[in-house]
Amino acid sequence: MNVDKDSIILGIESSCDDTSAAILINGVVHSNVTANQSIHEKYGGVVPELASRAHQENIVPVVSAALKEAKVSVEDLTSIAFTRGPGLLGSLLVGTSFAKSLSLSLGIPLIEVHHMKAHIHAHFIKEKKEDNPAPNFPFICLTVSGGHTQIVWVEEPLKMKVIGTTIDDAVGEAFDKAGKIMGLGYPAGPIIDQLSKDGDSNKFNFTYPNAGELNYSFSGLKTQFLNFIRKNEQINKHFCKENLNDICASYQSHLVSYLLKNLEKSIKNYSCKDLALAGGVSANSHLRKEFEKLGKSLGCKTFVPKISYCTDNAAMIAMSGKFMEEKGCFADLSTSASARIPMD
């Protein structure tokens, strides 16, 4: 491999409970390896201490597997991009320390990546040189994950402005918490998605919290859901079990229409031709369908990443790193992980 001409970026993601490494060669992804942490399932949510410990165990094998799959040796790397935040501090520290040590030992540049920007950059990941899946600038991106819910005005690859956000919990938490109440596994988002397929989305109704402007509030919706289940189980203790598919379909449909209500408003305030969806919750089949319908009705082109690039992955971190590399945005070795980093 010609290291003078090629850009070979190792991406490292460890912000929550997925340890991931990817190799991006001249903007094309050659490997994207992720180790999920099943340890959290029995607790119904991510346990930060267990997550950082699992990252410690997984990081070396995951990076080795990504290099092997891409047929690249560690000496071929031209830079290392890692998630600096936002996320769980103990988890971020593992990826950050690993990236810093490797950069020091190889004498190659380090690139610090913002996890939420990287979710948006997932749209620009190419699997083949000729792929061109990306939205045109400027565009609006609805970024929905386990930790964030944001409507982002994306002017340029590195110029983004949050125009709507949750004032409390994220929509992913609203899925996961409802799953916990119903006794489903963790993360509950994909389970609710699956169960909803055989349910009636009009069977039960919920209300929309008003968080003002283009903002969201999911904390009240979680409580609304808990009270709804409690109230009905007082009348019939098998209520949840007997109505599981309809409850999931109704709740999921409500969350999706709440998300899209504000997105539609934002398009009226900020005019653009392209609309994008990003983050773990964008793997939701109902959201993907309704998002495309909304785009069509507004005359906008819609962009949804492949499922493997929606949930946390290192290919998006390497992609973000590529944008930063092009602008000469490198970090020095004094950089440290941060649980909270503003987007703009």
Contacts of 65 (CB under 8 A, 6+ apart): 21, 31, 33
- Cα atoms in the 13 Å half-sphere on the side-chain side of 54: 20
Interacting partner of 189 out of ligand KG4, Zn ion, none (Cβ under 5 to 8 A depending on kind): ligand KG4
15-74 positions binding ligand KG4, by CB under 6 A: 16
Residue 34 or 266 having the CB closest to ligand KG4: 34
Under rule CB under 6 A, residue 281 binds ligand KG4 = yes
In whole angstroms, give the CA distance from residue 202 to residue 204: 6
112-151 positions binding Zn ion, by CB under 5 A: 145
How do 8-13 and 79-85 pair as beta strands? parallel
In this structure, the number of other CB atoms found within 10 A of the CB of residue 156 comes to 10
Interacting partner of 281 out of ligand KG4, Zn ion, none (Cβ under 5 to 8 A depending on kind): ligand KG4
Q: Which of 189, 203, 280 is nearest to 247 (CA)?
A: 203
**Taking the mean position of all CA atoms in its chain, how far away is CA 254?**
20
- Cα atoms in the 13 Å half-sphere on the side-chain side of 340: 0
What string marks each residue from 67 to 106 as x (binds ligand KG4 by CB under 6 A) or -? ----------------------------------------
* Structure token digits, residue 204: 């039960």
Residue 108 or 317 having the CB closest to ligand KG4: 317
Q: Which of 13, 112, 176, 325 binds ligand KG4 (CB under 6 A)?
A: 176
Which range in 77-85, 230-238, 273-281, 322-330 contacts ligand KG4 by CB under 6 A?
273-281
Q: Which of 13, 193, 246, 312 binds Zn ion (CB under 5 A)?
A: 312
**Three-state DSSP class for residue 81:** strand
Residue 66 or 259 having the CB closest to ligand KG4: 259
Backbone angles phi, psi at 152, to 5 degrees: -120, 130
Binding site for ligand KG4 (CB under 6 A): 16, 145-147, 172, 175-176, 187-190, 193, 279-281, 283-284, 311-312
